[in-house]
Chain A
């Protein structure tokens, strides 16, 4: 299984990558993108089975990225886990309306991400 991690923070991408590596989940490849626009490019070139994305990013943020993914015929149904500093009820409602599979607020404990990811991986069509 291939996971794409989208975050403008290299530290956060590395933290998520490290957590996935230690998770014991059946994930063979972790791809990275800096923002939504970069993610669209990576998805077009490599595809992904699961998307993990931040919200606030340069050029294209997480809201626009999820909208783009959900409207894509091929990628429209891949599970999406949001990992963001924005834990407001309003933002969670917006993202739920876009059909995200899970939502995790930063800072997070590695076990929290593993548990969310296990649920997301389990919901993969």
Chain B
């Protein structure tokens, strides 16, 4: 079983890279803390030779900034922001799993947005517009 610290480092690298490439943002690891009540949430399952979950929350301002950067527009429907949050979860999971399990084909389910997160996330990344909490856990 891979150490959680290795996964956390890979998640940090993934979020920093995704925000830089997709939104021209500089981001860094921040202090752990609970998700704010206004946070947008997502959960994504992966399966195959390695299976598990990614859970995520994101401050609404950060989600809007990411969606705006991806779409090149400021006037965004809530559904497009939710889709950007789902795609962020997808990119984080894919980025991490591709690098940690190089020789495995792992399937990603479509991210569910607006889920209830029953436990705090193990990592917090601070972007230029808000925070992102992420946990990626491998069951096998």
Contact = CB atoms under 8 A, between A and B. Distances in A.
A85 B71 contact: no
Interface stretch (A5-13, A39-47, A71-79, A116-124): A5-13
A10 B77 CA distance: 12
B94 A9 contact: no
B86 interface: yes
B70 A15 contact: yes
A108 B18 CA distance: 9
Contacts, number: 81
A107 B91 contact: yes
Interface residues of B, number: 32
Interface string B90-122: 110111011101111111111000000000000
B8 interface: no
Interface in B60-106: 67, 70-72, 79-80, 83-84, 86-87, 90-91, 93-95, 97-99, 101-106
Contacts of B94: 56, 84-87, 105-106
Given A88-B101, A89-B103, A10 B80 contact: yes
- Give the size range of A's interface with the partner: 20 to 34
Nearest to A106: B91
A11 B87 contact: yes
Contacts of A18: 71-72
Contacts of A91: 98, 105
B89 to A, nearest CB: 10
Interface string A1-37: 0000000111110110010000000000000000000
B95 A85 contact: yes
Given A9-B86, A85-B91, A87-B98, A14 B108 contact: no
Interface of B: 17-18, 21-22, 67, 70-72, 79-80, 83-84, 86-87, 90-91, 93-95, 97-99, 101-110
6 contacts: A11-B71, A18-B71, A85-B94, A88-B103, A90-B103, A106-B90
